[in-house]
Structure 1
Amino acid sequence: MAFALDRPGALRPVSAQRGPSVRLAKPGLLRAPAIVARPRVQTNAAALTIPVNQLTDEERGQLARELGYKSIGRELPDDVTLTDIVKSMPPEVFELDHGKAWRAVLISITAMAASLYLISISPWYLLPFAWALAGTAFTGFFVVGHDCGHRSFHKNNLVEDIVGHIMFAPLIYPFEPWRIKHNHHHAHTNKLVEDTAWHPVTETEMAKWDPTTAAFFRVFLGTPLKLFASVGHWLIWHFDLNKYTPKQRTRVIISLAVVYGFMAVAFPALVYYTGWWGLVKYWLMPWLGYHFWMSTFTVVHHTAPHIPFKKAEEWNAAKAQLSGTVHCDFPEWVEFLTHDISWHVPHHVSSKIPWYNLRKATNSLRQNWGEYMTECTFNWRVVKNICTECHVYDEVVNYKPFDYKQEETLFAIQRKIIPDSATY
């Protein structure tokens, strides 16, 4: 349900409307904002017509409930720097513990082996559950390699490179290309165009689409298939040598050779011993499960109706990393198998924090900067907004849906059938 703010603290329902709107009771009264009517805040279409920093604490609390979040933070003051936030955390959260790092490797390998055994003994009707477990375990492989890429796994960089390549190989993820582009994502989080992980579609891009391209993007970015969109990102960004400088290419080629070498050995062996169905059963389906979590973590952590993507000249690092990254609580078994990667805000404040210190770092941020943080529990309402509403960049209201001009059947059906519950 959408609501309007007629005055501070007063909310009333408003009718559903596709696209942004800003309405004032009387024009020209903005000179006295304390006593005039407030602009409308529309949440049913995931569009905000006034910035969060203009809302009272009560209004932000109501907005959070409407959108499925536990809290929506205030805007971080302009004079706060990322260095200020990093220095506020205890030094021990940056310390490496090789025992805990190797324990993650053991957990992921054990969980994957157990999952593959479960797949081998499961009747057909239980295979989806086994695949879901295996895909989550597979994600743990990525998280270990992820820490290696951020130099937060081991004090020896060569060890990190070796472990990173080994853990990424079964995912068919070339380690060095990923490391380069992922570090770029951290340097430009929620910066329009520059963020390589994900950013909204722009009007300029849409104007170039032919009908087939438009239909493709609407289906894959405007439906729950968006939760598998990292497959496209993986293919587009990590295998094209032209996306890397001559200095980077030697290491990129080594990573590609590792991936192709794994495929050349593992895939034929799997087909030889288990058939083509075995390749699908034991690798492809868990791999798709891994991409579900890759996509879901990315969009949930960096996509919210109230969190803007900014142009380079307007971008602020501290706001993007602290206030522009969402903390989301997932089921405990998911967090265990994925090594707490969902405790994501401190990781964006400083990527040098190893996974096993993310909870302590999060608690520190809550104590010192909690009023500026957005938090939620993984739920249908958040997912529904991300899949059906947060599509096209809008400088004023952050996001608008693909069908902001006139509601389309594809989105109308989704809005009716996808649950709107604040639980999952």
Structure 2
Amino acid sequence: MVRLTAAVSSPSLRPIRAAQQEFPSKAEVLSCLPEELLRHDPLKSWGSLALSLGLSLFAYGLGTLIPLSWAFLPLWLVYGMVTGTVAMGCWVLAHECGHNAFHPNRRVEGVVGFVLHSLLLVPYYCWARSHAVHHAYCNELERGQTHVPPRATSRSGQFTQALRRKLGRRLSGWVSLFNHVVLGWPLYLLMGVTGGEAYGRPVSHFRMPAQGVPLQRPLFPTAFRRWMVRSNVGLLVVLAGLVLAAIQFSPLRVLAVYGLPYLVVNGWLVVYTWLQHTDVEIPHYDSQHWTWVKGALQTVDRPYGPLINLLHHGIGSTHVCHHVNSAIPHYNAWRGTALLRQRYPELVRFDPTPIHRALWRVATRCSAVRQSPVDGAFYF
């Protein structure tokens, strides 16, 4: 059994199954986080933006100087990893704008988030909408969004389990890593893969559902159409800029300078979200057994180290606090995390497993979920 413990508690503390846990009310959990944590510090907000955007522009600028030859392939790989890792900080800040946690002025916040996410080919308003649904129904199999596992009794769950048996644990683990880290993000945006059961398939972030198509629960209601148009316009402007750059300099130069970091940014995003909401002891719930508190407290904080936490504004190490109150700015989330761990040491999850080992464990052991007769929750 994997140990998902509270950082302030004994290392030997094992997770308690949902049936044995007494969950507090939503009001009780929220009361742990004082209102002062919601206050914006413009110096810290703009300083974080200057750090991420400044480092990203510098790194992309260096990429324009690297020769396009096979002899420089190792340097290009290093460039892609470093630049994508740095640019992920811009992604995180745009995500914070979508939660109204970056700046007290909503218009300023909207402009910053829209520009940053569009530059990274993220449909800002559409993703902010689906991400808000993710927060509203975290770890619910039906209405949740992103990394919602299939039930073992479903068609996709049966297919996944059969494929794992055929390929074996090691090979199926590599296949799962590739599918998630490389293909997962575009497949989610284009088709709604790993979205909840209530929304059907496909669910595109780029177009409204066709008229007359019966949906149990539309992810994007009709009134959202104008926001989807704005998201798409932002992406079209950036894509047009990339095409012009390819004409001016060469397609290979654009693929190398922009494309390599783009893949790394997407990889970071999936690693974060996958490990925040998936592990062998993390329960998921159907609508009958789910509550907001249960869902929010099934997220996991993990140790990414001081450098990555600096570059990515602590998004992977303060995620439980972020789910309890997503309007808290990242620089206040550290204190919020400490307060939550102090008040609920057995409920706030922290997994000290090194990231690469946790990722392999999730890739090899987490495929489909079955309902437990003990607590009604679904486990891998």
TM normalised by structure 2 equals 0.80
What are the Cα deviations for residues 18-66 of structure 1, in whole angstroms up to 9, with x where unaligned?
xxxxxxxxxxxxxxxxxxxxxxxxx4xx8x9xxx9xxxx99x9375xxx
* Partner amino acid, structure 1, of 2:27: T
1:26-41 paired onto structure 2 within 5 Å? none
Q: Which moved more, 1:382-391 or 1:221-230?
A: 221-230
Distance 1:211 1:313 in 2: 25
Query: Is 1:359 aligned with 2:334?
Result: yes
Distance 1:210 1:392 in 2: 7
For residue 398 of structure 1, report the CA deviation from its aligned partner. Answer: 4.1
* Secondary structure at 2:285 match in 1: coil
1:45-60 paired onto structure 2 within 5 Å? none
Q: 1:98 to 1:275 in 2, by over 3 A?
A: same
Q: How many residues align?
A: 337
Distance 2:311 2:262 in 1: 15
CA contact (8 A) 2:100 2:106 kept: yes
Distance 1:190 1:221 in 2: 24
Equivalent residue for 2:188, pick from 223, 233, 241: 233
What are the Cα deviations for residues 262-317 of structure 1, in whole angstroms up to 9, with x where unaligned?
211x2123213431111211111111101111100001110011111100110122
Partner of 1:204: 154
Distance 1:141 1:210 in 2: 34
Q: 1:366 to 1:238 in 2, by over 3 A?
A: same
For residue 77 of structure 1, report the CA deviation from its aligned partner. Answer: 4.3
Partner of 1:394: 370
Query: Is 1:301 aligned with 2:268?
Result: no
Distance 1:80 1:297 in 2: 27
Distance 1:207 1:298 in 2: 20
Equivalent residue for 2:303, pick from 310, 329, 335: 329
Kindly, what percent of the aligned residue pairs are identical? Answer: 22
Partner of 1:12: none
Q: 1:139 to 1:84 in 2, by over 3 A?
A: same
Query: Is 1:282 aligned with 2:257?
Result: yes
Equivalent residue for 2:312, pick from 334, 338, 344: 338
* Partner amino acid, structure 1, of 2:355: N
* Secondary structure at 1:222 match in 2: helix
Distance 2:269 2:368 in 1: 21
Distance 1:258 1:299 in 2: 27
1:129-140 paired onto structure 2 within 5 Å? 129-140=78-89
Partner of 1:195: 144
Q: Which moved more, 1:150-159 or 1:113-122?
A: 113-122
TM normalised by structure 1 equals 0.72
* Secondary structure at 2:101 match in 1: coil
Partner of 2:52: 108
Distance 2:148 2:175 in 1: 11
For residue 208 of structure 1, report the CA deviation from its aligned partner. Answer: 8.3
Distance 1:283 1:109 in 2: 15
Partner of 1:144: 93
Distance 2:366 2:160 in 1: 21
Structure with bigger gyration radius: 1
Across the aligned residues of Structure 1 and Structure 2, the Cα RMSD in angstroms comes to 3.0
Partner of 1:164: 113
Q: Which has the higher contact order (CA 8 A, sep 6+)?
A: 2
CA contact (8 A) 1:221 1:391 kept: no
CA contact (8 A) 2:23 2:293 kept: no
